């Protein structure tokens, strides 16, 4: 019974500290930031230079599908290593869990592969 209260107290203290420090950071940012809005603050910059004329180039998201592929494949690899650690204890449960996790990660993987192959999405007009 006492151990349950220790766990609850630890979680509560961590939650209160996390939220409290976040709120302190937000309040300090509001208090220390300049209150006036400078027009130059909202202007675009190219390599930290003041803007002159129109923008030089387009911001293309050509590597976005590769990011999706990485963010999909990395958890699959991590879960596969965890799967290998747990298969000797509960092989059926581990297989069901691993299959469901991989099943949930396959649609973003297919989307990323499909998007990466569509060059017209990522090339300049």
Name the residue ranges covered by the structural domains of the chain.
Answer: 1-34, 58-125
Q: Which residues of 54-79 are buried (b: 16+ CB within 10 A; e: fewer)?
A: eeeeeeeeeeebeebbeebeeeeeee
Contact predicate 122/61, CB 8 Å: yes
* Confidence at residue 77, expressed as pLDDT on a 0 to 100 scale: 81
- Weakest-pLDDT range from 5-14, 15-24, 64-73: 64-73
Write the burial class of residue 97 (CB in 10 Å: 0-12 exposed, 13-18 middle, 19+ buried).
Answer: middle
Average pLDDT over residues 2-21: 86
* Confidence at residue 20, expressed as pLDDT on a 0 to 100 scale: 92
The pair of three-digit structure tokens given for residue 103, joined into one six-digit string: 């099943």
Is the pLDDT at 59 greater than 70? The verdict is no
Alpha helices per DSSP H over the chain: 2-32, 64-86, 91-117, 119-122
């Amino acid at each position: 019974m006492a151990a349950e209260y220790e766990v609850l107290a630890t979680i509560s203290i961590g939650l209160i500290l996390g939220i409290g420090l976040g709120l302190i950071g937000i309040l300090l940012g509001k208090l220390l930031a300049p209150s006036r809005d400078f027009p130059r603050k909202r202007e675009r910059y190219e390599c930290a230079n003041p803007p002159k004329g129109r923008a030089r180039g387009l911001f293309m998201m050509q590597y976005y599908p590769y990011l999706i592929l990485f963010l999909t494949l990395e958890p699959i690899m991590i879960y596969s290593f965890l799967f290998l650690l747990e298969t000797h204890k509960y092989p059926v449960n581990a297989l069901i869990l691993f299959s469901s996790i991989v099943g949930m990660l396959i649609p973003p993987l297919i989307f990323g592969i499909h998007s990466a192959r569509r060059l017209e999405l990522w090339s300049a007009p």
